[in-house]
Structures are given as structure tokens and as C-alpha cells.
Structure 1
């Protein structure tokens, strides 16, 4: 795929590759969120850009090679992609059992607004984060600056999960510049509640480990609230071990909370 289409369309190809619905409608904003890049002006102005299936442009391979075709276009608003069904009479799985389509990718500067919204939502949804609801208000400008700085070095990174056209989770990898600590990095993971229990956390951890190894990081570290049994169990399954416990590390809703420190040594 990388040899056929521009790099920026690869996340879109991965999205359609993992999709299970025969008919998908995506807004232009959702498509750009999946890509992590803006669509060209021609896609907003001309329906023919979406219907094109001939070189030299090859963006259409992102969906054509996954069996999807563009059926309707509302310029600037949404595009409908459909896959011919091999059994149009087959019963659909219930919505309750259906899993959301998602991909993971590295953060892009254009994600600043969506990332700021995600951080605020995570703070509001759970008591397991460092900040609570409305305790911080990350500005788009400050988030964009952070992303820009991250993309300039190889000791830190953010990987996001794009779920059904929106950023629904992330894993942050924070490394060290000091020579004696360059081999280790701390990670932070957050997924909004409606997208939990779908394997997103595991995939983010795998991507973080892959990124760490490629950047010569040999030890990943994290801290987690002792009462967050679900997260601790996930980290255990992924090979993290407990290093220790910091008592009364946090004060949440006027109650002290202990933190568990965990780590994983990577084979490089």
C-alpha cells in the first residue's frame, strides 16, 4: 500500500481494511481525523475527485482496494462508501455486539483541537487520572505546541486511536534527555469510556512498545491507581510487573489513593 498511495492516505486505507459494515458514511472532518491530515481543496469542490479511479492520482486505492466504492457525495459535508454484499439477506449482528472500527497512528499537528477535547473528556469521565473534571483546560494552542515539540525528538511520542472517525484514546510516551536515563520512558494511556473493552488499549500498548524499541528505549514505566483493578490487570497481561507502591500519592474526592508503580523491560 505504501508504494501505491501517498503516505497520508495509509491510515484511511487501514480504516477501511478493519471496517466491518458494508455501508459507511463519513463526514469530511471524520476523514481528516482518520488521516491526521487535511484533504485537498479539490475534494471539497469536485465530486469527481472522489469518483476518480485512474492514475496519476491514487488516493482512491485507500477504499477501492478494501472493496469499497463511493456512492454518494455531499461536497464539504460527507461521503458514503459501500461494499457490494456477498449475501444481502444475511442477518446483521446486533448493535450491542458490534465493535467500533478503529486504527492507531502517530499524532499529527492537525490533531491539536481533537486531542484537547479528548483530554478534557478523560478528566471528566474517570477519577483515575491526575486531573479531575474542569481542573485543567488545555488550549488548542498549547496542545499544538506540545505536538510540534514531540515530533522534533525521538525520546517522546503520542499515539492516538481513531475510533469511528474521532480520536477516542491515546498513549503518551515520555522519554528522558539525560544520558543515564535515555533508556527508559514513562507511558500514560487513556480511552474514553464508550470505546473501552474493544482491544484498543492493548493495541496502543503494542504500538508504544514497538515505537520504544525502534528508538532504543529498553524500559517502560507507568503508575496506576491501586483501585484501578481493570488497568492493573491489563498491564499485567501485557508483561508489566509491580515495582512498588506509593502510599497516599493522590487525593481524590478528599480521599487518599495509593499508586502502584509498574515497569516492563524490553528486548532490544
Structure 2
């Protein structure tokens, strides 16, 4: 498994990955059929990451050259929150449980530290115990609860705020 920065040549594979994740899991933001993303739009998104000091995306490339997962970090834009980076991660079900999520988080953390970030933060649905265990094992701590913040299949779920402080 190769963890590397995203490139514009990944746009089509990323769009396919996002649509697949929408179908495979109820733990991502978009429901099946809700996402409206074209390859051209994704290519433009990727270009915004290229050379940026405030945002980054890494992909996990499987042996068959398919994109198996991703992690995105987006830093704050004001002086008061420029040190904090919000994270989003997604891994295809067939690749889960193999350390891929940890490798993606490690790549993001290394990049964030080298770009003077002090804080990584994310939210996770409270009932997503596998992801919560990953984040805790990667050094994230729970900071609070967003009550009834997600509606999935008609049921309301809490999200947990989590963060990891990096070396300053």
C-alpha cells in the first residue's frame, strides 16, 4: 500500500472512491445518490491542494493501483485558527482493519507538523466504535459531543469532537 499526496491524475479514481464510500457506509457525510461531483470538479479541488501550506490530501494506492482510501486536512484561514487542521478520512471496506487508516493519519500528522500546525481535529459519529478506537490509538482525545448532529436513515446520532495536539 502506497501512501502519497494526491495528484490531478487521481481525480477520476477519487470520484469513484467517494461514490463507493457513500454506498458502503453510513458514517460519511453524504447519503447514496446525494453527492453531485464530476471528475472536472474533483480535478479543480485537487489543484487547490497542490502546493498549499494550509490544506493537503493523501491517498492510499493499492497494489492494483486503485485508490483504497484518503485523508484530507484543511487548516484554518484566520490568524487565530491557522494552527488548527480539520481532518476527514475514508477507507474502502475491503481495505479496513489492515492499518491503512493509521498510515493515512500518520502521513497527515507528519505533513501538519512540518507546516507548523499544532492541532488536528475531527468529528466522528458516536456509534462508529471502530473509527473512535483508531483515533484514540493514534493519540486523539475526545473533547465534546455534538448532540443529534447527524440524521441517518431517520435516526439522530451524536458526533464526538476529537483532537490531537502536535509538537509545537
Q: Which has the larger radius of gyration?
A: 1
Which interval holds the TM-score relative to the shorter structure?
over 0.9
Would you tell me which structure has more strand in proportion to its own residues? Answer: 2
CA distance in 2, matches of 1:254, 1:103: 38
Q: Which residue of 1 aligns with 2:96?
A: 196
1:131 equivalent in alignment to 2:9: no
TM (norm. structure 2) is: 0.97
**1:145 maps to 2:145:** no
Counterpart of 1:122 in structure 2 is 21
> What does the per-residue CA deviation read over 1:28-71, in whole Å, with 9 as the maximum and x for residues that have no partner?
xxxxxxxxxxxxxxxxxxxxxxxxxxxxxxxxxxxxxxxxxxxx
Q: How far did 1:132 drift?
A: 1.1
The match for 1:233 is: 133
Asked whether 1:177 is paired with 2:77, we answer: yes
- 1:176 is displaced (CA, Å) by 1.4
Q: How does 1:199-214 map to 2 (within 5 A)?
A: 199-214=99-114
1:158 equivalent in alignment to 2:68:
no
- Taking the TM superposition and a 5 Å limit, the aligned residue runs for 1:101-120 are 102-120=1-19
CA distance in 1, matches of 2:18, 2:109: 22
Highest RCO, 1 vs 2 (Cα 8 Å, sep ≥ 6): 2
Q: Is the 8 A contact 1:120 1:137 kept in 2?
A: no
* Corresponding pairs, count: 167
Unaligned 5+ runs, structure 1: 1-101
- 1:89 maps to which residue? none
Counterparts of 2:76 and 2:49, CA distance in 1: 12
The alpha-carbon deviation at position 166 of structure 1 amounts to 0.7
Task: Give the Cα–Cα distance (whole angstroms) in 2 for the partners of residues 172 and 180 of structure 1.
Answer: 21
Q: TM-score of the superposition, structure 1-length normalised?
A: 0.61
| SS of corresponding position for 1:181 | coil
Distance between the aligned counterparts of 1:242 and 1:128, measured in 2? 18
Root-mean-square deviation (Å):
0.7
Structure 1 residue ranges, 4+ long, deviating more than 3 angstroms after superposition: none
